Amino acid sequence: MGLGLLLATVVCCTSLALSPQRASAAVPPSGFFGVGGWSNPTPTQASSLAGAGLRLVRGAVGWGQIQPTSNPSSRNWSYTDQLANEAAADGFNIVFVLNGCAVWACGTVLAPPTGSELNAYENFVQAAVARYDPNSPFWKGKPHVPTITWQVWNEVNAGYFWPNPTPASYATFLAQISQTIKAVQPSANVIMSGLTAVPSMTGNGIALTPFLQALYQQPGFPQDTSAIVVHGYAGTPAASVQILDQARSVMLQNNDAAQPIWVTEMSWASGGPASAFTVTPALQATYLTQSWETMLACAPRWNLQHVLWFGLQDVSAAAFDEPDYWGFNNGLINLDGSAKPSYWSFLHFVGSAPLPDGAGDTCTLPGGDTLDGESSAVGAKPTATIELARHSSTNPHWQPVSFAATENGQAVSGVIYECSLDHTRWRRCSSPFNAASKHQGANTLRVKAIAVHHDLSVKPASLSWVVALRPPETLITAHNHRGGIFMARFRGETAAGVAAYECRLSNGQPWLSCSNPYKQELAPGTYTFYVRAIDRAGNADPHPASVSFTIYY
């Protein structure tokens, strides 16, 4: 297929909406549920969870941890590299949360950088984004280039990580750091800090609703974030879900119905000191299941895109030299590495199998998929979908994608569209949309429609494909032919990702799909083994790797 497939085959075309006419058992969308933690998952944990279906992990990018002195040459990226390498090996995506100043710059990690320290921090952020940019040499030869989302600070309204917070100061900081990120990677996905429902016990925080309401009054907000983000900590599953209603109500009041919501932290503890968030191990599993079933079934109610549990594993208070508290005990895994009951509940939601007994299928909240007050903003009947169709083209500058809102197979009029290519900012668009991209690897176009008529709600849709600006290259890394058995190992190098390999034992024979390593028992004779990589765009290496050898009598 060659370079004529610059923007190659469509590999996925699905609606992001959870259809109201589902089968009897819901299947969570890939990456809808994820996990974070006090530390990165170990390679064994990452591999096991990814094998079970996990596709989204949240990790910290700490300035002081990576850069222990004011000299940029002191930066050590091994901690974040660990998570990035695990993502590349195991096929999941990452949320990197930028949180905490360096002690050498601010005197504490529990404050935002200001003044000259802010300039130094921006330099650090630029380095981080450049290191993990999709086109960075860091990813060369790796099987998966993860999508990176950058989250700007953590629980900014709580008064702990950002003392005496104000919506104006955070909105200014968010805009500046977002611009810093986009200056390095224009297509980067940037989201705001998660907001807590109730401020911390420091007494200088601001509750979610007034803080978010005031954020909407700041110039430029919410254009500097691709989602409204909350944390779902609450005493019960019902109270946790209510946090989403609070945030969504503020969004509707500010005519921001099309913006999605993320939950980047939520959990209950299964031990430690008594608190409003401390339950038994069995009840922790029950609460996870109850809250996530509701969030999945009612996702259209909030335009909910992602929900992450915090954290993966319990930690020792002694490791932090602090008194024990519930947050050190909210893991899915015990300190000794054994799984809690909640771990197995978690696996149900990240796997690709339907949930048992039709769980997560029907929204039973009052109003169902529509929150009170939403009908006047986006409509009351979630019955229309967006149909996407991508046109083939040999022109790398014109790759049209057509779309239309339909209801019962009929085109719907009176809608306006917004598009986001590769997680860039939503912008007004029309069909056909030019989705030409120089971003190698996975590309995604998201389309959302806003109904003019008040009796219709149109759900977002997405279309993904692979861009391959260069064909793959194939290398034979090892081979031998002892005892009449030929064995070879090989690898493919391509920014688009290797989808398969094809092999043959002499020129002129047909190419056959083969596995790595290749092993074949052969009769005596002289052979030439050829292997070529096929990338995810369908392009084959035009110059296959080869090795000649002789099997003797």
Domain boundary among 467, 495, 526: 467
Exposure on the CB side of residue 301, measured as CA atoms within 13 A:
25
Q: Is residue 133 part of a domain?
A: yes
Q: Distance between CA atoms of 93 and 55, rounded to whole angstroms? A: 6
Say what percent of the chain tops pLDDT 90. 62
Chain segment 56-93, per-residue pLDDT in tens = 999 999 999 999 999 999 999 999 999 999 999 999 99
94 and 138 together in one domain: yes
Chain centroid to Cα 109, Å, comes to: 26
Place of tokens 């409509």: 379
pLDDT of 224 higher than 80: yes
Exposure on the CB side of residue 440, measured as CA atoms within 13 A:
23
450 and 479 together in one domain: no
Least confident residue range of 131-135, 347-351, 438-442, 459-463 = 438-442
411 and 529 together in one domain: no
Which CA distances in Å does 225 have to 1, 229, 401, 444? 39, 9, 25, 18
3-class SS of residue 8: strand
Q: Is residue 327 part of a domain?
A: no
pLDDT at 198: 73
pLDDT at 386: 66
524 and 463 together in one domain: no
pLDDT at 337: 95
Number of domains making up the chain: 3
Least confident residue range of 19-23, 302-306, 373-377, 545-549 = 19-23
Which pairing describes strands 385-390 and 304-310: parallel, antiparallel, or unpaired? unpaired
Question: What is the chain's mean pLDDT, rounded?
Answer: 86
Least confident residue range of 176-185, 256-265, 318-327 = 318-327
Greater confidence (443 vs 7) lies with 443
Which pairing describes strands 261-265 and 304-310: parallel, antiparallel, or unpaired? parallel
Domain boundary among 414, 446, 467: 467
405 and 491 together in one domain: no
Cis check for the bond before 311: say yes or no (omega within 30 of 0).
yes
192 and 63 together in one domain: yes
Task: Find the helix packing angle between 281-297 and 341-350, rounded to 10°.
Answer: 20
pLDDT of 177 higher than 90: yes
* DSSP sequence for 220-243: TTTTT-SSEEEE---SSHHHHHHH
Q: Which amino acid is at 302?
A: W
Residue 418 neighbours by CB under 8 Å, 6+ apart? 258, 426, 427, 428, 429, 447, 448, 449, 450
Q: Is residue 527 part of a domain?
A: yes
pLDDT of 469 higher than 80: no
Which CA distances in Å does 351 have to 25, 363, 394, 462? 13, 21, 38, 21
pLDDT at 392: 54
Whichever domain contains 130, its CATH number is 3.20.20.80
Q: Distance between CA atoms of 8 and 14, rounded to whole angstroms? A: 17
Q: Distance between CA atoms of 260 and 19, rounded to whole angstroms? A: 17
126 and 156 together in one domain: yes
74 and 129 together in one domain: yes
Which pLDDT band, with edges at 50, 70 and 90, does 190 fall under?
A: very high
456 and 540 together in one domain: no
Q: Is the dihedral angle over the CA atoms 396, 31, 229, 145 positive or is it negative? A: negative
Q: Which amino acid is at 137?
A: P
Domain boundary among 199, 217, 233: 199
67 and 191 together in one domain: yes
pLDDT of 134 higher than 90: yes
Q: Distance between CA atoms of 366 and 362, rounded to whole angstroms? A: 12
| pLDDT mean over 510-529 | 92
* DSSP sequence for 52-85: HT--EEEEEE-HHHH--SSSGGG---HHHHHHHH
Which pLDDT band, with edges at 50, 70 and 90, does 14 fall under?
A: very low
pLDDT at 451: 60
Chain segment 486-518, per-residue pLDDT in tens = 999 999 988 777 889 999 998 788 999 999 999
Q: Distance between CA atoms of 332 and 289, rounded to whole angstroms? A: 13
Q: Distance between CA atoms of 530 and 553, rounded to whole angstroms? A: 23
pTM for the model: 0.67
73 and 182 together in one domain: yes
Q: Is residue 419 part of a domain?
A: yes
pLDDT of 23 higher than 50: no
Q: Would you give the DSSP letter of residue 254?
A: T
| pLDDT mean over 386-391 | 64
Greater confidence (387 vs 399) lies with 399
Which pLDDT band, with edges at 50, 70 and 90, does 382 fall under?
A: very low
pLDDT of 244 higher than 80: yes
Q: Is residue 60 part of a domain?
A: yes
Whichever domain contains 506, its CATH number is 2.60.40.10
465 neighbors 535 (Cβ within 8 angstroms): no
pLDDT of 6 higher than 50: no
Q: Which domain holds residue 189?
A: 55-199
pLDDT of 524 higher than 70: yes
Which pLDDT band, with edges at 50, 70 and 90, does 457 fall under?
A: low
pLDDT of 141 higher than 90: yes
pLDDT at 58: 98
Greater confidence (324 vs 357) lies with 324
pLDDT of 109 higher than 50: yes
Phi, psi angles (nearest 5°) of residue 431: -95, 135
pLDDT of 10 higher than 90: no
Question: Which is nearest to 66 in space by CA: 114, 131, 156?
Answer: 131
Instruction: Tell me, letter by letter, the H, E, C secondary structure of 13-56.
Output: EEECCCCCCCCCCCCCCCCCEEEECCCCCCHHHHHHHHHHCCCE
Say what percent of the chain tops pLDDT 70. 86
Q: Is residue 134 part of a domain?
A: yes
* DSSP sequence for 466-515: EE-SS--EEEEEEEE-GGGEEEEEEEEE-TT-EEEEEEESSTTSPPEEE-
Q: Is residue 432 part of a domain?
A: yes
Q: Distance between CA atoms of 80 and 132, rounded to whole angstroms? A: 10
292 membership: H or E segment, kind and range: helix 281-297
Whichever domain contains 454, its CATH number is 2.60.40
Least confident residue range of 73-87, 299-313, 398-412 = 398-412
Instruction: Tell me, letter by letter, the H, E, C secondary structure of 103-167.
Output: HHHHCCCCCCCCHHHHHHHHHHHHHHHHHCCCCCHHHCCCCCCCCEEEEECCCCCCCCCCCCCCH
122 and 62 together in one domain: yes
pLDDT at 473: 93
| Cα pseudo-dihedral 354, 358, 363, 366, rounded to 10 | -160
Q: Is residue 491 part of a domain?
A: yes
pLDDT of 55 higher than 50: yes
Least confident residue range of 6-10, 65-69, 346-350, 447-451 = 6-10
